[in-house]
Chains A and B, each alone.
Chain A
Amino acid sequence: MKQHIYSLLSEALPATDLESDFLFSELDSLGIVTILVILSKEYGISLDATDVTPRNFKTIDTIVEMVERKLNK
């Protein structure tokens, strides 16, 4: 799943360093929205503003964990 999310996001956000350990700092609001839209559509999960936390968006791994938690609900 990580590789798939990585390729989806790197396609949509080419200027963003997705391997950063400080991904939330790298992203602007357009980047955040883009991730929410892509992941919601791809995995059929409901993501909203409350999911946009520095912890959830810290790295690509924490984003993957967030998706996995949503899928397991």
Chain B
Amino acid sequence: MTLEESIKYHAQMTPDKPAAVCGKDSITYSELWKAIESKAQALADEGLMPDRPYVFRATQDLEFLKIYCAIHHAGAIAVPLENKVNDETFNAIKTEVESCEFASDIVDILYTTGTTGKSKGVMLSETALVSCADNFIADLHFSPDLLFIISGPLNHIASLFKMHPVLTVGGTVCILDGLKDMNAFFEVFNLPFKKFATFMVPASLRLIMQFSYDKLCSLADKIDFIETGAAPITQHDMEQLSHALPHSRLYNTLGGTEIGAVCTYDFNDGKHMEGCIGRPMKNSTVEVTPEGNIIVSGLTIMSGYVADEENTKKVLKDGKIYSADLGYVDENGLIHLKGRLGDVINVGGFKVDPSEVENAASSHESVKDCICIAGTHPVIGTVLKLLVVLKDGKELDKKSIAVHIKSRLEPHKVPTYYEAVESIQRTYNGKLDRKYYKK
């Protein structure tokens, strides 16, 4: 059953049950279904045709849920972009997707840095979405009495694809605008629900543990499960979280826009194995080659990249995704991650291509040369750091460079740290020597 068919079903069976809450707003299944039908009709009246893309900003509210489902109900393709994406990027993506033809089974296009390191439109079929939700329901045990808190951006698979299992089983989604207002997060637990669950990237979990550990402990009986993923979680953080929530299921999941959610491991097992992602979920197959490359196949994988046959062929071969993740299988058949190919820097679950940051910074009046590398933040973990060679007579003006980059790229691509250096290390053929800075 698709997401929209499930909402329609629950609108008939439990019409007054809340499907979603956001701050003081809430919407029942019945109201949501009516809104979807009405918006789908409005979109069709505006000229949106089946199998055509609809590009929109993913606002962090109930409106997103209505429009996302309405696009599907109209038979069109949802292309949610980050809420703060600038007009230039928005229009470039709109132009790109509107110039393409799509297969009739494509329902979502999600733009991601992901596996290739470049911003790509990942085409996902109805089967991929339904199978991904099915994986979550079977392995993470989503239930109708669950309130699932989504605090991450709704254009990101880690958040967007949690709406599907929750609403498929008839549960309730709670949408939060990020985690910076941690009081708002904790106030959700006062809502009249029996079970609560959420997804958080490891950096957010550390943030909660660092500044609200006692509060988290006090919610131990209410939290059914927490899922993490998108970036590595340390053994220490796993142990601390297990100590705070001894009876909750705590999952570390391997997922990605190109592959869907494919493996998961409940690390509240007394072992807290760092890097472990458990076993493949029901609709997914995960192979690890003797060289350690992780290859994913099954029903949840993408159909390809928008207008990019070359990169699609590099990643998708014979129905299998050759991911950038490296790993191994232990003697018990559990899969473990041990690093990643390529130059992508993972900032709190967001994959950033450093060359994109360098290109944006290079056009600043004071920058002669630069390289974007990984830096370490005391709480968040990995952040971006920009090393800059300044033009003669110029001084390092961090604010000016940061604002310059911010006007061109999404907020998570703006470096946190800046340092003036004499020169940038390059390889013999003049390319940036990224390996030198990883040492």
Contact = CB atoms under 8 A, between A and B. Distances in A.
Interface in B358-408: 377-380, 383, 398-399, 401-403, 405-406
A1 interface: no
Interface in B171-209: 178-183, 186, 204, 207-208
Interface stretch (B107-115, B117-125, B254-262, B410-418): B410-418
Nearest to A50: B183
Contacts of A10: 399
B379 A49 contact: no
Interface string A23-57: 01001111111101100000000011110111000
A71 B186 CA distance: 26
B348 interface: yes
Given A14-B418, A33-B379, A49-B186, A28 B399 contact: no
A15 B402 contact: yes
B207 A15 contact: no
B403 A52 contact: no
B234 interface: no
B180 A27 contact: yes
A15 B212 contact: no
B211 interface: yes
A30 B418 contact: no
A15 to B, nearest CB: 4
Contacts of B210: 33
A44 to B, nearest CB: 16
Given A14-B401, A15-B399, A27-B180, A48 B212 contact: yes
A69 to B, nearest CB: 17
B380 A36 contact: no
Nearest to B177: A25
Contact of A49 (B178, B208, B414): B208
Contacts of B399: 10, 14-15
A71 B14 CA distance: 52
Contacts of B181: 24, 52-54
A51 B16 CA distance: 36
Contact of B215 (A29, A32, A49): A49
Given A29-B178, A29-B180, A14 B411 contact: no
A30 B380 contact: yes
Nearest to B398: A14
Contact of A28 (B180, B186, B378, B398): B180
15 contacts: A12-B416, A24-B180, A28-B178, A28-B411, A29-B204, A30-B380, A32-B180, A33-B380, A34-B416, A36-B211, A37-B378, A48-B211, A49-B186, A52-B183, A53-B181
Interface of A: 10-12, 14-15, 24, 27-34, 36-37, 47-50, 52-54
